[in-house]
Each structure stands twice: as C-alpha cells, then as structure tokens.
Structure 1
Amino acid sequence: MAAAAAAESPLIYPEAAGLSCFPDSVLLHILSFLPVKDLVRSRRVSTRWRRLVLDKTLWKDVDLTPYKINSKILWHLLRRYMSGSLRSLRVRGCLHSAKKPDLLTPALSHALGQRCPGLRCLKLREADLRRLSYADLPPSLKRLELHHCEICLAWFCMPAGPAASLPQLEHLVLYHVPALTNGDLEEVCMCNQLRTLVLSGTYRLTDHGVRLALHYLGRVERLTLQSCNLTEGALRVLASHAGALRHLDLVGFHLLTDVGLSYLTPLKTLESLGLEQCCQLSSQGVAAACAALPGLRRLNLDGIRFRDQGISKIRDSLPDCVVTNAVLDSPARPLTLCVTSG
C-alpha cells in the first residue's frame, strides 16, 4: 500500500523541497525566469508546483524562439497553458528543416485568436506561412513581426477587403521577407493605421510601392528601410507625406547622396536619424541637411569613415545632437566600412 501511494505521488526533488517554505508569490517570481521547456518540466515536482505552473501570470509573455516549434507542439501548449492572459508570443518555426512542417495553420491561428483574445504581439521567426493568410491572424494583434519567414506573393492582399484585416495593428516589422510586393505594402498600409514600419531585405519593394502607400503613412512615427530596392526619389515623396515621422533609419542605402539627404529637410518632427553605411554622403552634406532638422537629437553615422576630420565638423555643427560614428567611437566593432569624400 505504501509503495503504491509513493508511486502515485509527485516526484519531490531535494532542491524543490527547500523552496516549500516560500509563499506562492515568491515561487511564481522564481518560475517566471525559467525557459518554457523547464517551466513545463517543473510541473512534475509536486502538486503545488503543478498548480503554480498553470498560473496565468506565467503565460503572459511566452518566448518559444529557443526551440524549433511545429503546429503539433503549439496546439499542445495552447490547449494546456495559454489563455486570455497571453499578451505576447514569440515562436520559431522549422523553415530550414528538410520537411518544413507548418508552424501556424488557419485552424490553429483561429483557435489562438479565440482562446487568447488579449494577444497583442506576435513575433514569428523562420516560419513557412504560405498555407496561412494574413486574414487568418488573430484580430487582436497590435504588433506583428516576421523574421526570415516565407509568405506567398500578395500575402497581405485580401479579397474580402479592409474588414478582414487586423483592425488594431499599429506596428509591422518585416526582416528578410522577400515575397513582400508593392501591392502588399499598399494593402497593409491602407487597412491599418501604422505607427511603426520596419522593412529589411524586402528586395521586391520599389519606389512604385512607396508611392502606392504614401497616402496611408500619415501616422507613421518610426520607419526603417534596409536593403530595399529604393532610390532617392522614394525619400522625396516620403518626406512630403510622413509628417508625423520621429525616427528614421536608412541602413545600407548605398546610393544615397547629399542631394537625396536634403530631401528629408521637410521632416521637422524628426528626432533620430540613422544613416548607417550610407557611403556616398559627405560631412558637408550631412551637416547641412541635419542643421535643417530642428528636433534632431540623435544621428547614427556608423560605418562611414569621413576624411579630414569630417565627423568632428558634423558634431560641431550639431551641438544639441548626439552623433555616433562607430568607425571612431568603437573601432573593435565589426562593420562594413566606407570612405566618403568629405
């Protein structure tokens, strides 16, 4: 009888037994530091720990990016642990594996939206989303991030129109999502009042796409463009329509010249400007353009080596602005360097 009772009782580890004197609030705080895999395993320690692991406070912000997840595993976690308390979810798929199993299916995405109506942030990494549509995502999302994900062409273009979009979406971050098209950008900007837009490695995006989306960018406050197929002409039309822009990063804009930089002078609300690895700029051109931006407080010139102490001249001309230039300030940091004429 005693042996049977012992077999049915939860496994008690000596280390866990030493924590039994702490109140639930302290144990919950300790458990909050555990990765999801260890958190799930800890429910086997005791009956009390099983109850604590199911506490909603531990499942508000779930980070699954340390693991390669497929839809089967995500279904299990959703049914057993996730509920209305979930606010943010970060997941890494199996895009680079041989079989490429689905991360999110339409049924799973709909169940996620129904079971977790408070979900505000969804970050997907290395996921194959070609069987999923933009309209299938939980409608409660305010922030959507896709990193190295595969989507089908016209993924954001929905036949059902704006009613099928994410009505609360304000922040869209796309890193290396090569299938994004000009029509996608127009559709997502038209259907959502975006405040943050990050586009990196979206080589199909051209000046035409920027012009299509222009009239819907009036609320954008933070914009990042990196490795996009854009010219200085796109910056000119952007500056004339993005009147609320406060943070602008142009990373690796190798064709940007002093003339193109001057197109940004209408952005009087701009507070920070990133020009990392914009190799064609001169110190005179940077100083002149930035002097016309009265609200500018941070200027990033990393990766540009100016001649004749050009960086010192820029700093002297912008006394109220913090100017960083990693070529001089942090020589140990690996960067792609370029030398300008000024």
Structure 2
Amino acid sequence: MIEDRPAALKNRVEYFTLPTKPFFLSWNWVPELVKASLVPLGGIQPITGKMAELAGCVIYDDPSEEEVRYFRSIEAKFQPVLLVMSLATISGSEDALVGVPYAISAIPMSKRGVVTTVDIDSVKANQGGAAFAKADWCYFGFDPFVGQWSAFSKAETILDMKGGKGYVDELGVVVGMYYLRTEYDRDDVSEVDRFLPDEKSRKRFLRNRIKTVYQPFKRVEARRIWGVQTPIELFLYQELLFRGFKPQLQQLVFPDGRTYPSLYDSYADVETRHELHLLTEIDLYFPDQRLAVFCDGRHHGKGKQIERDAKIDKQLAEFGISTVRVSGKLIIQDLAAAADTVCQKLYQRMDQTSADSKVG
C-alpha cells in the first residue's frame, strides 16, 4: 500500500472514492510510442528468428504445434508477466467514467512470494494468454513503487468488494499479458522496430526492451515501463489534476536541448542517433509554458546534489525551460502550498507566453 499520503488529498471526498461499476482507461495520457511498444507484448516473448521459422513467419499469441514441439524438446520455461496500469484519478459522469494513468508496470505472476514458472503445455492450454485476457483482471492495494498488493481478482469482484470506498491510485488494472522465456538467444531476438531510423537506434531500443520487459524476473517486483517514479511525484500530480491541470510525466531532456516524452521517442529521432547522454528527466512538464517541475527527495538538499541541480536548472534556462523545485517534505506536509508554488510559476509563464505572442 502507498504510504505517507498528504492530508490535503485524504481530505478530498473524491480521493477515497472508487467507482461501483466498470470504467474506461484513458490511453491519451500515454506517449504514442510507449503505447505502440506494448502492442506486440503478447504470447511468447521475446520473439526470435527461430520462432518465426517454426511458425512460418506468422506468429500468433497461441503458439503453433511446431513451436510447442520445439519448446517441449528443449524443456523451455516461461514466466507469465502482466502489464499493469495504475490510475491517478477516475473522473467523468456516471455514464462515462475515465481512469487517468500515472504508471504502467510489468510484474510477474507469483505464488507465496515466488515468481511463477510454467512449461509450454501450460502456455498452450491458456492459448498464449488469450484465455486469461477474456476477463478484466485487477490488483487492489497495488503499490507500483515496491511491487506489492493486497488482492488480485476480476475487476468487477474488486469493485463490488470495496463498495465504492478505497484509493484509486491503488487500483492496478491488467492491460496485457505475455509469457517471458527464462532463457533465449539475445542475438536472435526479432523486435518490432521499423519506426527506428538506423541500426544503432535499433540496438539501443533492444537494450532497453531487454532491461524492462525481456529480462527474466528473479524476484517479485514491478518494473516501470512508463510513469512517475516516486510517491511524491504521484501526490503532486494528483493535486494538479484535481485543480484542472494536465502536466506530462517524465519528460526527457538531452544536452542539445531536445525534449522527448519517452526514450522510444528519442530513439526514433535521427538527430539523437549518436546516443547523447541524458541531461535530466523532468518529473512533471508543461510543454506549452515550458515549465519543468521537479519533486526533490531528501538527497537533493545535500552536498554535490545541490550543485548538480543548480547546473541542470541553468542549462534548462538556456533552452528556454523554466524550473520549479518542490521538496518531498513540503509535498507530504503541505501539499496545497506545494501545488500553489507550481501554479504561481505556471501562471507567470502563461503571462509571459501571452506577452511574447503579442509582441511577435
């Protein structure tokens, strides 16, 4: 369960209110290439040249008989992995409730704290995950920051059980499933990467894919694919959403001033093919106002980190990006004041943008 919730959030009636019926998931908040990267994640992963050869170059989630015989012959093992979307808020009318995401994670299925491992016959019996996907599954008490939860069942069962009471941000909605091979030849992996400009970008993309979604799990954990990194970011994000603002999450900035909503977007840009090192990752970003919001934990107020933060702020300013830093302590103890600090800076940037447009 997510801890240290600010009183300002807990005092909101809507903050501890769950829907009592099904709702929609808003994918509009997720970067396009992140969404596209999730589409191929079904059936057996990663896909290899050997699998394509066995399946006649047309691969389905439900493995072919040739694939089954092959994996059975080598005694292959697989980890069932779920793709889970965590929700910051659920809003809208009773007829059109929409969940706004703050994270997407990959987490292995498990039993008594041990990662589940199955053979190819189990994969085939579940049609490569198709049988599992026929129902809407959901975690409750789900904490994507530590990979823990209190309940797992069909979404309808969870909502009925909670009776409209509970924290929305502890709902983890399953949006996908795949079977991860515990052993495979990395040089034989066949990835969907036609959107990338060159071979170097494809290699960088594959390295990231292996790290986040293809690396076999040694323990039960939630691996972040997209979204906020810490609870303090989530709390400030939620407060800004309640106030009607819609910042982007985890905007990447490179030393030449280029900004991207995800690593996949940076890989797709031919101008970053030389693999520039990342300058910083903005926690909450307002692109129209070019305002970067950083939620600084305890280590940001110590030693050389202060100097590093000041250097980053200076470099961002050279790119026309203004920064505001909010301490985690302030977010926890006085969330309203923390959000006021952001809003004040945001209004200043809005006024400046308006003035600049009139001059132009």
TM-score bracket for the superposition, by shorter chain length? under 0.3
TM-score of the aligned structures, taking structure 2 as reference length: 0.24
Structure with a larger share of its residues in strand: 2
Which protein, 1 or 2, shows the higher relative CO under an 8 Å CA cutoff with sep ≥ 6? 2
TM-score of the aligned structures, taking structure 1 as reference length: 0.25
